[in-house]
Chains A and B, each alone.
Chain A
Amino acid sequence: MTDKKNQVSRRQFLNYTLTGVGGFMGAAMVAPMVGFAIDPLLKGQKDTEFIYVMDVSEITNEPQRKTFKVDQVDGWYESQVDRTAWIFKTEEGNILALSPVCTHLGCTVDWASNEQYPNQFFCPCHNGRYTKTGVNIEGTPPTEPLHAYEYKVEDGKLLLGKAKKR
């Protein structure tokens, strides 16, 4: 009786093999598709290049506007684009490089450009405001802080990477 239980019937054998083969075929079809689908993600990680922007000794407590060029691959187009950063030292002495792109709808914010708010970043489009460290001020349109660039310091030189959400 136990012998019989362990034996595989013809029907079962065919079922197993067919499911097995079918599974392999399915996997063979799906695997490349998954690969294509997440390909941009896999590639995206590679291009975190850091670019020289200014000397660390030049960084002040007052935000300074600096532009630098980045190679950008944007779907079909490959181009050099200008990036801008507001760079300064925080009260704790850390370097902060803020992206000037308003988190509301993408206008360019300016430091202390509005006389009423001399110590804030100001967006000319819909009067969005941020504190010096880039935190959005409640009651104005932006819903999140300004993005900050990743940075590295090498031999007294400040290198900037990508602007990231904080």
Chain B
Amino acid sequence: MKYKTSDTSQYTQAKEYIDTAIIPLIPFSFVSDQEMTQLSLQKEMTQIYIDQIEKELKGRVFVTPEYYYVKNDKISDEKLRLEEYVNHINKQPFKYIFLITPDNKWRKITKDMDVDLIWIPVIKEGNLNQSETQQLIQSQVKEIQSLIMDSWNE
């Protein structure tokens, strides 16, 4: 499910089945040209991952609107805002919350939160339309999918 009318109206009718929220954490920056190129590529890749996962597991996962933040070395500044976001999402009866991000800095600060962090490895540069890249993404999507399914079966 995504945050759009057709899906949310279905969600409100079938909440007991859709118990998993996926929150995309997406960094952006306008400081250097190089960083802009890199982070926009990361954003696109993250969205492809999430679209694929959502397509496979549509009936049980809800992809929330993206959590955007300015890329910063001191990511601890973001902790409070993320906690508030997660608490807010928890107003609905979700049992599992996954954060999906290309930014590996989140690992430390989400340790003590009741969430699962999925870090997706990203390519530094390149073309998302290349068939090797697509194959790579396909196989990693499978991995992430089984990771999510494993936590359902625990």
A binding-site residues for B, Cβ under 8 Å: 102, 104-108, 123-126, 141
A-B contacts, CB under 8 A, total = 35
Q: In the bound complex, how far is the Cα of B10 from the Cα of A141, in angstroms? A: 15
Query: Can you offer 6 A-B residue contacts whose CB atoms are under 8 A?
Result: A107-B59, A108-B56, A108-B58, A125-B59, A126-B59, A141-B17
B63 to chain A, nearest CB (A): 13
For B17, what are the chain A residues with a Cβ–Cβ distance below 8 Å?
104-105, 125-126, 141
B binding-site residues for A, Cβ under 8 Å: 10, 14, 17-18, 55-60, 145, 149
Chain A interface helix/strand/loop/mixed:
loop
Q: Quick check: B58 and A107 within 8 Å, CB to CB? A: yes
B41 to chain A, nearest CB (A): 21
A145 to chain B, nearest CB (A): 16
Return the chain B residue nearest A101 by Cβ. B58
Q: Quick check: B149 and A105 within 8 Å, CB to CB? A: no
From B18, B58, B59, residue with most partner A Cβ within 10 Å: B59
Q: In the bound complex, how far is the Cα of B148 from the Cα of A108, in angstroms? A: 15
